[in-house]
């Protein structure tokens, strides 16, 4: 605002000095010596205007960088508070596009529209007041015609906003589709579907191109409308001023000042309209980010920090599911349907059943990643039964270790990936955990052993090797509750044997919930629970359990039944 006020003063000073130079040069024809002072003053005003414009741009770029970083930070922290349960219902590619390429579209808003907003609020008013002191008639014409620019700009801007929203949705779809395509490229290549997906990406890109060109056409139309209105408005001032100057009702210097200041009154509003149309994409992205920030965490996710530490030193006992139902948005049938289950401390419980039976959803509820639609999960803490939805989920997760079916490895060293289990662990603890998980066998063959840099998602390692690193994380965490989501899925016989043996070590002395499709993972269970269609349909102790193993998803065979032998 201070810079805008300074700019308005310099604009008026520039017009006065220039009008004086022109009037004196026409009427009196002074010498160069007499004009030296006004010329130096005029040059100084131009330099000062350049400095103010540069300062505005520097502040605007700093504001843009700060605002984008702040919005990204707030959005990521809020998404973390909302949890993976909320994120799983969103299109990860769309959110990635929004927080990455999308927020960069805010640059035109902060570097163009935002500074111009202050100029448009100060400069026309200052010019109008000064012109009114010099010639009231011209000031009245400016006052009447000046609102026409924002009115026409708003009318065109409504269409621009609609077109920009369509453009951004097309870009979000394109970014999400492309991200999914890159992530699944090996599978698509294996099944010969890469070319078909390339056609789909090309079609989405064409939709985005069409939407972008439509937005640009409207933006160019708005520039034409604003320039036409401003030009006609200046003409309405210039013609009466010229006629009155010829009649002798107005002196030359005053007429020149009015003619020089009239375009300056309209220029900030014209520039504001143009900058607004250039920044509409950024505003559409900002609305998307604010939509994410407006998502309310569930009661169990709120105020976690105030209660953190409840589980850290407590004795964890029984885990009880009390009529838990999970209904995902957009699905007609519940993933879990009134499930009641009790897991005693130190007990190993295996969950079996066909794909889609609700096994992984049940594990997600235990992890606090999925929140029950109805029912509750009760946990015995120091002989006190508490509801997981009303307590410290972050503290609860400190007391459990999770080995998913497809563990994610990050583009860091092997040691850093294992150390995720316990970030403060030293190198000796990391190596000991790797030995227990039989991961040291292949780590010692890597170029830099534990300091070998891995690619994102563990590029360069086999599925069995990635699984053993995940088991090493669990060993390092050393938590009393172990949650396993079919850790042997998709492994060859040798890798499966190593993972099963390491998993057996890991289960010792812990409460275990394991999702199993293969007999090897069921063998060590105390109880085997069969699930179908989100319900528990059978529950038997290990020795008498007849387990139906649905292996079609893993080895391409139909489901078959086998009786598990007694395991000692």
Per-residue confidence at 560, pLDDT binned at 50, 70, 90?
very low
Position 411 in a domain = no
Position 501 in a domain = no
Question: What average pLDDT does range 455-460 have in this prediction?
Answer: 78
C-alpha span between 263 and 376 (Å, rounded) = 69
- Percent of the chain residues past pLDDT 90, beyond the cut: 1
Specify the range with the lowest mean pLDDT, choosing from 98-112, 212-226, 290-304, 358-372: 290-304
Total number of domains constituting the chain: 1
Hey, what are 416's tokens? 């850093």
Q: What per-residue confidence (pLDDT) applies to 71?
A: 87
Position 403 in a domain = no
441, pLDDT greater than 70: yes
pLDDT tens-place string over residues 54-96: 888 888 888 888 888 888 888 888 887 776 656 655 556 667 7
C-alpha span between 86 and 176 (Å, rounded) = 17
Q: What per-residue confidence (pLDDT) applies to 546?
A: 44
C-alpha span between 429 and 439 (Å, rounded) = 13
C-alpha span between 323 and 463 (Å, rounded) = 36
Q: How far apart are the first and last CA of the chain?
A: 80
553, pLDDT greater than 50: no
Position 422 in a domain = no
Specify the range with the lowest mean pLDDT, choosing from 297-301, 418-422, 434-438, 470-474: 297-301
The single-letter DSSP state of residue 453 is B
CB 268 within 8 A of CB 102: no
Helices (H) and strands (E) in the chain, counts: 22, 12
Average pLDDT, the chain: 76
The single-letter DSSP state of residue 389 is G
CB 510 within 8 A of CB 482: yes
Q: 492 vs 314, 463, 499, 564, CA distance in Å?
A: 40, 9, 10, 21
CB 48 within 8 A of CB 7: no
Residue 275 vs residue 67, higher pLDDT: 67
Cβ neighbours around 492 below 10 Å, total = 10
568, pLDDT greater than 50: no
Q: What per-residue confidence (pLDDT) applies to 544?
A: 44
- Percent of the chain residues past pLDDT 70, beyond the cut: 76
Residue 429 vs residue 396, higher pLDDT: 429
Secondary structure percentages of the chain, helix, strand, coil, to 5: 65, 15, 25
Q: 424 vs 311, 312, 420, 469, CA distance in Å?
A: 19, 16, 9, 17
C-alpha span between 138 and 127 (Å, rounded) = 11
pLDDT tens-place string over residues 140-153: 888 888 888 777 76
**For residue 324, what is the enclosing H or E element?**
strand 316-326
- Which has the closest alpha carbon to 511: 480, 541, 539? 480
Angle in degrees, 0-180, between the axes of helices 493-507 and 427-436, rounded to the nearest 10: 120
Dihedral pair phi/psi, residue 341, rounded to 5°:
-155, 145
Specify the range with the lowest mean pLDDT, choosing from 210-214, 404-408, 458-462, 538-542: 538-542
Position 131 in a domain = yes
Specify the range with the lowest mean pLDDT, choosing from 284-288, 310-314, 432-436, 472-476: 310-314
| The residue to which tokens 């990204």 are assigned | 72
Hey, what are 389's tokens? 């939805």
pLDDT tens-place string over residues 22-56: 776 654 555 666 667 778 888 888 899 899 888 88
The single-letter DSSP state of residue 392 is -
556, pLDDT greater than 50: no
Per-residue confidence at 307, pLDDT binned at 50, 70, 90?
very low
CB 264 within 8 A of CB 123: yes
Position 233 in a domain = yes
CB 391 within 8 A of CB 307: yes
- Which has the closest alpha carbon to 99: 75, 124, 83? 75
CB 367 within 8 A of CB 483: yes
**For residue 183, what is the enclosing H or E element?**
helix 148-183
Specify the range with the lowest mean pLDDT, choosing from 70-79, 276-285, 286-295, 325-334: 276-285
Tell me, what CATH number does 242's domain have? 1.20.1560.10
Per-residue confidence at 303, pLDDT binned at 50, 70, 90?
very low
> Which structural domain, as residue segments, surrounds residue 215?
68-284
3-class DSSP state for residue 189? helix
Position 543 in a domain = no
Per-residue confidence at 296, pLDDT binned at 50, 70, 90?
confident
CB 402 within 8 A of CB 421: no
Position 271 in a domain = yes
- Which has the closest alpha carbon to 391: 278, 485, 488, 310? 310
* Three-class SS of 473-534: HHHHHCCCEEEEECCCCCCCHHHHHHHHHHHHHHHCCCEEEEECCCHHHHCCCCEEEEEECC
């Amino acid at each position: 605002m201070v810079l805008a006020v300074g700019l308005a003063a310099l604009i008026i000073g520039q017009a006065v000095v220039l009008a004086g130079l022109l009037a004196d040069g026409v009427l009196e024809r002074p010498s160069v010596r007499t004009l030296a002072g006004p010329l130096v003053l005029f040059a100084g005003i131009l330099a000062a205007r350049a400095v103010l414009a540069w300062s505005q741009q520097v502040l605007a770029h700093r504001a843009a960088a700060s605002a984008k970083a702040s919005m990204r930070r707030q959005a990521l922290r809020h998404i973390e508070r909302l949890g993976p349960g909320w994120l799983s219902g969103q299109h990860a590619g769309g959110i990635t596009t929004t927080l990455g390429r999308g927020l960069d579209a805010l640059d035109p808003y902060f570097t163009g529209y935002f500074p111009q907003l202050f100029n448009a609020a100060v400069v026309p008013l200052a010019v109008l007041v000064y012109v009114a002191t010099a010639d009231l008639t011209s000031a009245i014409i400016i006052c009447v015609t000046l609102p026409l620019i924002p009115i026409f700009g708003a009318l065109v801007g409504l269409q621009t906003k609609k077109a920009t929203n369509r453009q951004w949705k097309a870009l979000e779809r394109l970014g999400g589709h492309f991200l999914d395509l890159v992530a699944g490229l090996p599978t698509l290549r294996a099944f010969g579907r890469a070319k078909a997906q390339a056609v789909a990406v090309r079609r989405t890109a064409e939709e985005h191109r069409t939407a972008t060109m439509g937005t640009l056409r409207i933006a160019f139309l708005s520039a034409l409308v604003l320039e036409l209105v401003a030009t006609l408005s200046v003409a309405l001032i210039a013609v009466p001023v010229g006629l009155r100057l010829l009649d002798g009702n107005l002196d030359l210097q005053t007429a020149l000042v009015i003619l020089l200041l009239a375009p300056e009154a309209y220029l900030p509003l014209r520039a504001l309209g143009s900058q607004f149309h250039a920044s509409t994409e950024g505003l559409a992205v900002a609305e998307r980010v604010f939509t994410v920030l407006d998502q309310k965490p569930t009661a169990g996710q709120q105020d976690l920090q105030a209660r953190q530490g409840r589980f850290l030193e407590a004795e964890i006992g029984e885990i009880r599911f009390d009529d838990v139902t999970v209904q995902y948005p957009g699905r007609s049938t519940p993933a879990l349907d009134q499930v009641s289950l009790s897991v005693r401390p130190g007990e190993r419980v295996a969950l079996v059943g066909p794909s889609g039976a609700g096994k992984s959803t049940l594990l997600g509820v235990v992890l606090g990643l999925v929140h029950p639609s109805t029912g509750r999960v009760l946990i015995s803490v120091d002989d006190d039964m508490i509801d997981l939805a009303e307590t410290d989920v972050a503290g609860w997760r400190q007391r459990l270790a999770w080995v998913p079916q497809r563990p994610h490895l990050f583009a860091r060293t092997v040691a850093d990936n294992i150390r995720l289990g316990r970030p403060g662990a030293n190198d000796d603890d990391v190596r000991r955990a790797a030995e227990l998980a039989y991961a040291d066998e292949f780590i010692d063959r890597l170029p830099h052993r534990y300091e070998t840099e891995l690619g994102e998602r563990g590029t360069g390692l086999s599925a069995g090797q990635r699984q053993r690193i995940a088991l090493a994380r669990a060993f390092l965490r050393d938590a009393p509750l172990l949650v396993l989501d079919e850790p042997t899925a998709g492994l060859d016989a040798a890798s499966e044997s190593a993972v099963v043996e390491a998993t057996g070590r890991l289960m010792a002395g812990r409460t275990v919930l394991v999702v199993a499709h293969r007999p090897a993972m069921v063998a060590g269970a105390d109880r085997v629970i069969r699930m179908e269609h989100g319900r528990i349909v059978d529950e038997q102790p290990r020795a008498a359990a007849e387990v139906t193993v649905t292996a079609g998803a893993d080895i391409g065979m139909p489901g078959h039944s086998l009786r598990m032998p007694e395991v000692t």
